[in-house]
A = this chain, B = another copy of it.
Amino acid sequence: MKIITPYERKVFYYETDKMNVVHHSNYIRMFEEARIDFLEKAGMPFEDIEKFGVMVPVLSAECHYISPLVFDEKFAVYQKIEKFNGVRLEISYRIVSRDSGKLCAVGKTSHCFTDMNMKPIRTKGKYPEIYSVFNKYTGYETED
């Protein structure tokens, strides 16, 4: 099992709002970017999952805002697969500023797996390649 590093980028101008900080909805998008980056680094890119005819919709998302990111600030998203049983998936996230070192936000998303008609599916028997990647990294947290 190889080490997976956190997802990193800088804040875009259009992500700010008139409060001069990143709009709170954008952290939910950063979580998604990080998830997709994680899966690619884990060897199961999201497009491959979709090529199997599998989607991974979000069942819930939450974010706690601690210290606001500002324009051009570099940040990292650390994440951990908290739970996975082949049917449901839960991931937690910590967004950390690479400039200040501050913890900026923490959050969580939960997901299920569905076919292209949004019908829930079990990955274990039917999609062993997908199952094995998530299973392997369950409990794993990205590390620098």
A57 x B65 contact (CB < 8 A): yes
Copies of the chain in the assembly: 4
A16: chain B residues at CB < 8 Å are 17-18
Interface residues of A in 44-86 (CB under 8 A from B): 45-47, 55, 57-65, 68, 71-72
Shortest distance from the beta carbon of A24 to any chain B beta carbon, whole Å: 4
Mostly, the A contact residues are: mixed
List residues of A whose CB falls within 8 A of some B CB. 9, 12-14, 16-20, 23-26, 28-29, 32-33, 36, 40, 45-47, 55, 57-65, 68, 71-72, 118
Add 5 more A-B contacts to A14-B23, A28-B61, A60-B64 (CB < 8 A): A40-B72, A46-B72, A47-B71, A59-B64, A60-B65
